[in-house]
Amino acid sequence: MATIHQKLAVFVVLMSLLGALWAGYSASHRRVGERLHWLAWLTVALTAVEAIAGVAAAGGGARPSDPLHFVFGPAAVLALPAGLLISRARSPRAASVIVLAAWLITLVLSLRAAGTGGALN
């Protein structure tokens, strides 16, 4: 289960990078498109599956190299949905900046989680 968790971590980091780049482009045009929202919720779902695999791996005895993994991992799961929900009912300009910030935070947290989990060591 730890291997599945590690492989999903790579996909989450790559999707977060793609989302951050796309959100940066969208913010420069002051709009957030429907496809970017679709990618965001797909990334949230993938991150949740990764978290479930991580919990199963931890239950099986696999432990991260740094206990901070248990902080960065859940924060990475929550950052993007929080940003998406906060951006609702905002002006297009404000929503695009909030969504960009959520993607960037998710990218940084997922990289940090991978580093504290031992994947980047």
Tens digit of pLDDT at every position of the chain (121 positions): 568 888 899 999 999 999 999 999 999 988 888 899 999 999 999 999 999 988 888 888 888 888 899 899 899 999 999 999 999 989 989 999 999 999 999 999 999 998 888 754 4
**Spatial distance between the Cα atoms of 66 and 57, rounded to a whole number of angstroms:** 15
Q: Say how many C-beta atoms besides its own lie within 10 A of residue 24's C-beta.
A: 13
Query: Please, are residues 19 and 43 in contact by the beta-carbon 8 Å criterion?
Result: yes
**CA 119 – CA 36 distance, rounded (Å):** 28
Cβ atoms of residues 62 and 2 within 8 Å:
yes
Tokens of 19: 């989302």
Report the C-alpha gap between 104 and 45 in whole angstroms.
17
Whole-prediction pTM value?
A: 0.89
